């Protein structure tokens, strides 16, 4: 058993080693703790193991499907909508307490062997009614779409979802024909959730695999800047072998299209609330609001820094835990929805980094909400360093030609 646990520990730690995340690798080697971290990373609540075990103890085998429907599904759906695990556990009160109780008295079942027909709805009118009420509650409170975004143009090639309308600025102004073709290829397959691709080098007119790699890298950077609303896209990797050709793998932050759609609806409602909160604010107040909202509602994931989910706005809005890419993209999406002109930007600070450029009074300034998640105490003397230009004087931009001239003064600093 001890050997098995140690091997499992090594297996769990491997992603941290491959991604060159020392902290993840070391923590992954700790038996017990690594399993907890692993379950957290894949968003599998350990409480489900207990619930399923209790369900199987109390219920006959034929009740397993009903257990999933009445116990697991409400938990996972409520958690997915962003209400949190505590609230999700509370929603289990009715199905988890009543279901085993009624099953014990032969009240609930999926299939009646003696009569040879399904009897769930006939035998359990009260429970079904309560489940319908619960479903209506979930629908009216969490799945009803907010008012349409007037900026959205669903016929545009850059339309992805209702959260944000990309202007395709980098694509239109800064990419050549080959890079545009690769950009479209990656974006289209991301929309379709096709992660494993074979790149025809002749089709993309690549002289060699290095040129193809450069095209992919340029397209990737352009997609990051143009499309912060892509919930699922996290990055890419590629390989080339003589016998199998050029292979491109798109890495997805949210690989389940259902979770992505549910997340999109939930994020719409969160942004709608932010729009209400900032409706009467000045531009400077809006910028400060977004900075504080990111910092107060999120923590920086220093354990699974390179995990794909951390690169997406999904984790920022739904899990309250991400890294710089997630925070910058989320800020960009919010800024567009509340009327602030801004851009996402990639480059270097203490390492590879992503932040924003915001416009205020006709001038452009760096904005870094990652600082807010690191200095969560608003009373800290450097809490607003994320808005101070001198703090970001060492930042270097990967593609400075993609952006307007940045002010070096502290004109955006908010007292």
CATH 3.30.1370.230 residue ranges for the chain: 169-252
Are 88 and 74 within 8 A, CB to CB?
A: yes
Backbone angles phi, psi at 248, to 5 degrees: -120, 130
Q: Does residue 338 or residue 24 have the better pLDDT?
A: 338
- DSSP per-residue codes, 227-267: -TT-SSEEEEEEEEETTTEEEEEEEESS--HHHHHHHHHHH
Rounded Cα distance between 296 and 142, Å, is 22
Note the pLDDT of residue 174.
Answer: 96
CB atoms < 10 A from the CB of 285, how many? 12
How large is the average pLDDT for residues 179-203? 91
CATH topology of domain 169-252: Ribosomal Protein S8; Chain: A, domain 1 (3.30.1370)
Q: What does pLDDT average to over the chain? A: 75
> Is the pLDDT score of 87 beyond 50?
no
Note the pLDDT of residue 109.
Answer: 44
CATH number of this structure's domain 257-402: 3.10.620.30
> Is the pLDDT score of 312 beyond 80?
yes
CATH 3.10.620.30 residue ranges for the chain: 257-402
> Is the pLDDT score of 353 beyond 90?
yes
Q: pLDDT band for 108, please (50, 70, 90 cuts).
A: very low
């Amino acid at each position: 058993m001890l050997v098995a646990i140690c091997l499992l520990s090594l297996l769990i730690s491997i992603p941290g080693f491959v991604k060159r995340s020392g902290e993840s690798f070391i923590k992954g080697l700790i038996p017990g703790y690594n399993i907890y971290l692993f379950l957290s990373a894949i968003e599998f609540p350990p409480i489900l193991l207990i619930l399923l075990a209790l369900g199987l103890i109390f219920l006959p085998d034929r009740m397993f499907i009903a257990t999933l429907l009445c116990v697991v599904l409400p938990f996972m759906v409520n958690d997915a909508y962003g209400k949190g695990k505590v609230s999700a556990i509370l929603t289990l009160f009715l199905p988890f307490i009543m279901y085993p109780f009624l099953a014990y008295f032969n009240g609930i079942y999926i299939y009646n062997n003696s009569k040879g027909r399904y009897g769930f709805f006939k035998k359990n009118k009260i429970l079904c009614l309560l489940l319908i009420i619960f479903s209506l509650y979930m629908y009216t409170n969490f799945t009803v779409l907010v008012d349409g975004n007037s900026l959205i143009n669903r016929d545009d090639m850059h339309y992805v979802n209702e959260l944000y309308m990309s202007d395709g600025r980098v694509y239109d102004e800064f990419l050549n024909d080959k890079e545009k073709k690769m950009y479209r290829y990656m974006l289209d397959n991301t929309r379709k959730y096709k992660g494993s691709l074979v790149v025809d080098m002749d089709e993309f007119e690549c002289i060699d695999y290095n040129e193809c790699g450069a095209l992919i890298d340029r397209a990737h950077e352009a997609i990051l800047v143009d499309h912060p609303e892509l919930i699922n896209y996290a990055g890419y990797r590629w390989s080339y072998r003589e016998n199998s050709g050029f292979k491109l793998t798109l890495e997805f932050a949210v690989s389940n299209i259902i979770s992505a759609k549910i997340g999109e609806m939930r994020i719409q409602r969160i942004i709608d609330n932010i729009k209400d909160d900032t409706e009467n604010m000045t531009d400077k107040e809006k910028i400060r609001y977004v900075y504080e909202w990111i910092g107060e509602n999120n923590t920086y994931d220093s354990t699974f820094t390179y995990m794909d989910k951390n690169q997406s706005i999904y984790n920022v809005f739904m899990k309250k835990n991400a890294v710089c890419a997630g925070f910058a993209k989320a800020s960009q999406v919010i800024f567009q929805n509340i009327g602030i002109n801004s851009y996402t930007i990639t480059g270097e600070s203490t390492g590879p980094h992503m932040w924003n450029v915001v416009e205020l009074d006709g001038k452009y300034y760096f904005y870094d909400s990652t600082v807010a998640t690191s200095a969560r105490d608003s009373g800290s003397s450097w809490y607003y360093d994320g808005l101070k230009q001198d703090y970001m004087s060492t930042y270097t931009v990967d593609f400075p030609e993609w952006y307007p001239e940045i002010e070096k003064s502290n004109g955006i600093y908010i007292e």
